[in-house]
Amino acid sequence: MGKAKANLSAGRMLLFAGFLALLLASVYFAGQTANPPAAVNYNYYALALAIPFAIVAIAYMASYAFNVPSLRAILQDELLQILATGAIALTLVGTQLAVDQYVVATLNASGATGNDIGSVMDAAADKVADLETATKGVLTNFQEVSSILGTEASKGVFCNFMGVGFSLNNCSPLNAYRGSLTAAAFTTTIAMSDTYAQDFILSFARNYAFSVIIPLGLLLRCFKVSRAAGGSLIAIGFGFYTVYPAVLLATDNLLHGTAGSPATPYMPLPGTCDPKQGSVSVALSEFKDYGSQLTNFQLERGVAYTVLVRVLFLSILNLIITLTFIRAFAHIIGSDIDVSSLARIS
């Protein structure tokens, strides 16, 4: 009976080893027969699974050499986890390739594909670059309008006759608009910093997610003592490389569909103020006319849509969706991440 159990255990070990060999070969040859994501070396994936398998195999042989049968059941469970980790690696690679192909095909169909767009990461990077350009344009416009307003508002006339002086400052009321423009420029500066942060996240994920973070997570997940940490790294790497750029594209396109983002309107420049104008009513009329131009609904809605909605609001929403996915995916593969504090920061 004991010999039969030993043979059965050895047969299971060989079966598991065969499955693992197939997984390793699939992971390796997937990168040789398909277009891999940028900065991906599939040799790292095969190595991340081969190292734990070699360790388990050596330990399994040692259990026979030192007659430790209780260790074999533990090693079989560990080998099963290595197989599960290999399946996760194949799922990640396949999902990434499918998402890239779908996004590129969609952009080709809509005629929006650039020469440098070959993946969802490239498309998201281009989208963030467009947002950055639009935000810079709004900020530059605010600075130009505020500078011209300051120049015009500083104009005045001072007369002195027989020791009696008086001044005309009909242009000075234009300074009233500079306070609101300063506040709007401050908000736009924050939005522009937000685009820099998004660009950093995409750049970091492009360079390290599939080449360092996920392979390291696969390696750590194969061992019980580091399984939680490995699952967390896998979820974080996949979330920011695949989910975050896909969500960024989806939420932005959700606002304006396939028609493309509307052009960003700019604040009108003030006209030349005549400091010698003696009529207060004329100066007041010019002041009100320019105020009506600044508070035009279509203008304000366009600027608010670009700065507050497309950049600030959607960046927060995209990060929350990504963190939610990371937590859910980490829980599925045997880990648990508390992202509540990160969500509050976002």
| Mean pLDDT of the region 295-321 | 90
- Kindly report, residue by residue over 260-270, the tens digit of the pLDDT: 667 778 888 88
| Mean pLDDT of the region 324-346 | 75
| Mean pLDDT of the region 199-205 | 93
Residue 68 has what pLDDT?
79
Residue 343 has what pLDDT?
54
- Kindly report, residue by residue over 118-141, the tens digit of the pLDDT: 788 888 999 999 999 999 999 999
Residue with tokens 């508070």: 295
| Mean pLDDT of the region 111-117 | 57
| Mean pLDDT of the region 296-319 | 90
Residue 154 has what pLDDT?
85
Cβ neighbours of residue 60 closer than 8 Å, sequence gap 6 or more: 13, 71, 72, 75
DSSP H or E run through 166: strand 164-168
- Is 237:264 a contact under the CB 8 Å cutoff? no
Q: How far apart are CA 209 and CA 211, in angstroms?
A: 6
Q: Which of 3, 10, 4, 1 is nearest to 75 (CA)?
A: 10
Residue 41 has what pLDDT?
65
Q: How far apart are CA 182 and CA 204, in angstroms?
A: 33
Residue 20: is its pLDDT beyond 70?
no
Measure Cα distances from 167 to 38, 118, 163, 173, 287 in Å: 67, 65, 13, 14, 19
Q: Which of 198, 194, 184, 176 is nearest to 303 (CA)?
A: 184
Q: How far apart are CA 244 and CA 254, in angstroms?
A: 15
* Burial class (CB within 10 angstroms; exposed 0-12, middle 13-18, buried 19+) of 299: middle
Residue 115 has what pLDDT?
53
Residue 106 has what pLDDT?
73
Which parts of 154-312 fold into alpha helices (H)?
Answer: 176-208, 214-221, 227-238, 244-256, 280-294, 297-304
| Mean pLDDT of the region 248-258 | 80
Residue 17: is its pLDDT beyond 60?
no
Domain locations along the chain: 101-345
Residue type at 300?
A: E
Q: How far apart are CA 13 and CA 27, in angstroms?
A: 21
- Kindly report, residue by residue over 159-200, the tens digit of the pLDDT: 776 666 667 777 888 888 888 889 999 999 999 999 999 999
Does 165 or 212 have the greater pLDDT score? 212
Res. 202 pLDDT band, cuts 50 70 90:
very high
- Is 185:143 a contact under the CB 8 Å cutoff? yes
| Average pLDDT value over all residues in the chain | 80
Q: How far apart are CA 96 and CA 3, in angstroms?
A: 46
Residue 30 has what pLDDT?
47
Residue 190 has what pLDDT?
93
Residue 109 has what pLDDT?
65
CA 337 to chain centre: 19
Residue 32 has what pLDDT?
46
